[in-house]
Amino acid sequence: MMPLSSERGVFARLSVAAIVFVTAAMLSACASTQVADESGTPDPYEDWNRKFYAFNDALDKAILAPAAHAYVEVTPAPMRRGVNNFFDNLAYPEVFINDFLQGKVEQGFEDVGRFVINSTFGLGGLIDFAGGLGFSRNNEDFGQTFAVWGFDAGAYFDLPFLGPNTARDASGIPPGTVTNLLFYANSFVTFPLGLLKIVDQRASLDSAIRIRDETALDPYVFQREAYLQRRRHLIHDGDPPPDDLYTLEPIR
Amino acid sequence: MRKVVRFRWFPGLSAAALGALLFACMLPGTARAGSTTPAETVDRLHASLLEVMQDADGLKFTGRRERLSPAIRASFDFAFISRIVLGRYWGELSEDDRKRMVDTFTELTLATYASRFDGYSGERFQQMEITPMSRGRMLVRTEMVRPGKDTVQLDYVLQEENGKWLIVNVVANGVSDLSLKRADYGSILKSQGFDSLIARLRTQIAELGGG
């Protein structure tokens, strides 16, 4: 494992985290007056969001996409898989914490098991050893938990550097950050690892972004809709009430 | 009460069953002229997708599109889909423009499938469950299993038309194709109008063929 900062540093960071968490929860509660639903999509900040979308897209085309493509070019697939597993594992505490917060106790214990097995036998997460033993990789985060707790999605935001979000999902970013073990690493490692993580994430998003660029007439709208639907799918753990999600009636 | 018809595929059985299914679909006499069930419609689409994937290199884009064309035309309700995708704009269109939209959308779907399913690396499709929906529609949940990659969850919404079950929406990993297109096309219709939408879809079809 990576060197951890001093104990005092950890406590300082945790108290910052607690403050951020509470603020975020309050923000989420306030934001819930504006509901973004799938059909009408009230997107009250569309003008700003489009500006940030253009900014992110330019940044992606200039730096991130070329970096990710070069990364895919020079590293063999098994190595990329390892890197991907490693970052997934560092972020996995967020998954099991949110299992428990959503009351999925059994899945929570399984995910703790998955994390422990991969951190040890899986060589610090490089190998998805637990996956081979039948522990599936689950997708949970604080944004999903807030949804399960009954908070509305709030307005849609396309945030600079961070991309698509709702007020609810954005409130999940601070607690998500502090439950990622990368946050507690020595800053000498955090920076290069953080860069690698960004490149790794961009590489895994590559096919989705290619589909967007190939098929979207209005890429901003396309990305917004895809994001909102994907999130709803994850909140329902891939099994949403069919009539709720696949409504086909003409709108307005 | 929602009645759920569930038939799980057991690992040992699935390979044999899929083989039998593929074989059945390739037999010339199996495409019955009469009625179909939702599961049959989805299976037939998947079987023809697998067929062109395995033959992808020899067929090239045009060959794949031609090969997929009968199965896709027989599986989707393009008239209904076009109406939903255009939303309130559908009502403002002339009969000719509506036909233009349905034709263009059919071509776009063919080109998209022919361009996406351009190779085979051990993928297989499996049906997970069939769930009744409101308004007499059926939801067929399936998975595309890809060796070494994440499984893609593919859900199909079907409705019955003259004894045939036709696909009216495809939902991939929770993202509904119909809703995406409705939002995306709606934005173009609002800002640039119908002719511009058709022109851009035509460009897209040409690009899919060239790319």
Q: A32-77 pLDDT, tens per residue? A: 444 444 445 569 999 999 999 999 999 999 999 999 999 999 999 9
Residues in A touching B179 (Cβ below 8 Å)? 38-39, 225, 229
For chain B, helix (H) and strand (E) counts, in that order, are 7, 6
- pLDDT-based confidence at A1, cuts 50/70/90? very low
Domain assignment of residue A16, given as a range: 4-244
CA distance A176 to chain B (A): 23
Residue A250: inside a domain: no
**How many C-beta neighbours within 10 Å does residue A194 have?**
15
Partner B, chain A 35-54, Cβ-Cβ below 8 Å: 38-39, 41
pLDDT in tens, B18-65: 445 444 444 443 444 467 899 999 999 999 999 999 998 889 999 999
- Could you give the number of structural domains in chain A? 1
Put simply, whether A209 touches B (Cβ < 8 Å) is: no
Q: How far is B88 from chain A (nearest CA, A)?
A: 7
What was the pLDDT predicted at B135?
A: 86
Q: How many CB atoms lie within 10 A of CB A101?
A: 17
Nearest Cα to Cα of residue A111 among A127, A97, A132, A90 = A97
3-state secondary structure of A70: helix
Sign of the torsion formed by the C-alpha atoms of B90, B94, B96 and B97: negative
| A72: CB partners within 8 A, 6+ apart | A80, A203, A206
- Is A230's CB within 8 Å of B153's CB? no
- Cβ neighbors of A189 (< 8 A, separation 6 or more) are A2, A3
What pLDDT score does B148 carry? Answer: 80
What's residue B13's pLDDT? 43
**Residue range A164-185: average pLDDT?**
95
For residue B33, give every residue at least 6 positions away whose Cβ sits within 8 Å of its Cβ, in sequence order, or none: none
* B97 close to B197: Cβ distance less than 8 angstroms: no
C-alpha span between A128 and A125 (Å, rounded): 7
Does B139 contact A242 at a Cβ distance shorter than 8 Å?
yes
**Is A165 within a domain?**
yes
Chain A residues touching B168 at Cβ < 8 A: 248
The ipTM, to two decimals, is: 0.77
Q: Cα-atom radius of gyration of chain A, to the nearest Å?
A: 19
Give Cβ neighbours of residue A7 (< 8 Å, ≥ 6 apart).
none
pLDDT score recorded for residue B57: 86
Q: Nearest to residue A155, comparing CAs of A144, A146, A143, A166?
A: A166
pLDDT range class, residue A238, cuts 50, 70, 90: confident
Asked if the Cβ–Cβ distance from B84 to A217 is below 8 Å, we say no
Model confidence over B92-106: pLDDT tens digits? Answer: 999 999 999 999 999
- Is the pLDDT reported for residue B158 higher than 60? yes
Question: For residue A85, is it within any domain?
Answer: yes
Q: Would A14 be classed as within a structural domain?
A: yes
Cα A23 from Cα A46, distance rounded (Å): 24
Q: Is residue A252 part of a domain?
A: no
Cβ of B188 and A217 within 8 Å? yes
Residue of A nearest to B178 (CA): A248
> Which of A144, A218, A239 has the highest number of chain B CBs within 10 A, making it the mutation to test binding with B?
A218
Neighbours of B8 (CB within 10 A): 10
Two structure tokens written together for B124: 């297989």
The first and second tokens of residue B32, run together, are 């019955």
CB-nearest partner of A221 from B90, B187, B211: B187
Estimate to the nearest angstrom the gap between the alpha carbon of A249 and the chain centroid. Answer: 31
Query: What pLDDT does residue A15 have?
Result: 52
CB-CB under 8 Å, A246 with B169: yes
A251 part of a folded domain: no
- A205 domain-assigned: yes
Structural domain contains residue A66:
yes
Torsions phi, psi of B143, nearest 5? Answer: -135, 140
State the pLDDT at residue A246: 54
What residues of chain A lie within 8 A of the CB of B137, using their CB? 248
Tell me what the pLDDT averaged over chain B comes to.
Answer: 85
Smallest CA-to-CA distance from A200 within A47, A85, A99, A97 is with: A85
